[in-house]
Amino acid sequence: MTKNRQNDELFQVTFIGLGAMGWHMASHLPKVCKTVKVWNRNFEKAQQHAQRFGTIAVNLQAAVQADIIFSCLPTSTDVENLIASVNLKPGSIWVDCTSGVPSSAFQLAERLKKLNIDYLDAPVSGQTIGAENGTLTVMLAGHHDACLRAKPFIQAFADLIEYVGESGSGFAVKAVNNSLMAVNLWAVAEGLSILKAQQVDLTAALSCINHSSGRSGMSETIIAQRVLNGTFDRTFALNLLQKDMGIAIDLMRHSQLELQVLQATQACFDQIETTKAASLDFSAAIQRLEQDTGYQLRF
């Protein structure tokens, strides 16, 4: 997809939160906007970003004076606190790429509307590699006109931008998506545990599965790239996946549904305590399964 630079030289875009995802997402914005400002809590990272990608590192109050403000922080609470600490510019659009809580999106959208500011929930999927390549999927929600205005800028780091509905819908889709990812990862690992117990070669087994109906995104990527090779490289922290599953389970309860697989999977991933989970990749949850079964899943 061609990423066209917006011609209006006065138009300013800001990116807040240069973490594993935000660092890469912000790096694409100079393709579509002449002035791209960045802010990060650890400000050195913002300065490094500016040096590397031609963005401009500014303080937080200056950052929120842009026409479009992107944020990508760990949780909705982080975004709420940050928004509460600044004076925003009327007429701007806040595009929140955090994987957040639907009710928070709804409340922020209502609150900011009174200041003539649009708040959109726009969580992303595609892992750090998708952020680096500018090929993320964006689950965009909120006021439809504001979504249309923000879209050319979101396109800088996205291949698919899907409008999914009113405020909160984007966060809901993201929470369900990540819960499905967790279900798939755990299910593939359980299947491979059986095969290991049966002394089947896991490389051959995975090759068959990936050419058969049992395959999934997890069987095709993470299982080989992080579990079977034993690296468990950290790009998406396990505590963030635990948060996403918690959001999905809260939505399930709010919808008065009682769904067994999602709840059982959440219990599996929650076996690792949150503080420890913050230092681990989400794939490392499979190490608990390995301890329980006594079978290590390695090539």
Cβ closest to ligand NDP, residue 1 vs residue 84: 84
CB of 18 to ligand NDP, least distance (A): 5
CB of 294 to ligand NDP, least distance (A): 30
CB of 24 to ligand NDP, least distance (A): 9
Give the nearest residue (CB) to ligand NDP.
19
Cβ closest to ligand NDP, residue 16 vs residue 297: 16
Cβ closest to ligand NDP, residue 32 vs residue 181: 181
Binding site for ligand NDP (CB under 6 A): 17-22, 40-42, 45, 72-74, 78, 82, 98-99, 124-125, 127-128, 235-236, 240
First to last CA, the chain: 37
Cβ closest to ligand NDP, residue 191 vs residue 246: 246
At residue 295, what is the residue type?
A: Y
Q: Name 139's bridge partners.
A: 162
Indicate the angle between helix axes 238-254 and 169-197, nearest 10 degrees: 120
Buried b / exposed e across 80-98, counting CB within 10 Å, b at 16+?
A: bebbeeeebeeebbbbbbb
CB of 234 to ligand NDP, least distance (A): 9
CB of 130 to ligand NDP, least distance (A): 8
Cα–Cα distance, 200 to 193 (Å, whole number): 10
Cβ closest to ligand NDP, residue 79 vs residue 147: 79
Q: In which residue are the tokens 């819960």 written?
A: 179
E strands, 113-227, where?
118-121, 124-125, 136-141, 158-165
Q: List the structure tokens of 224.
A: 């080989």
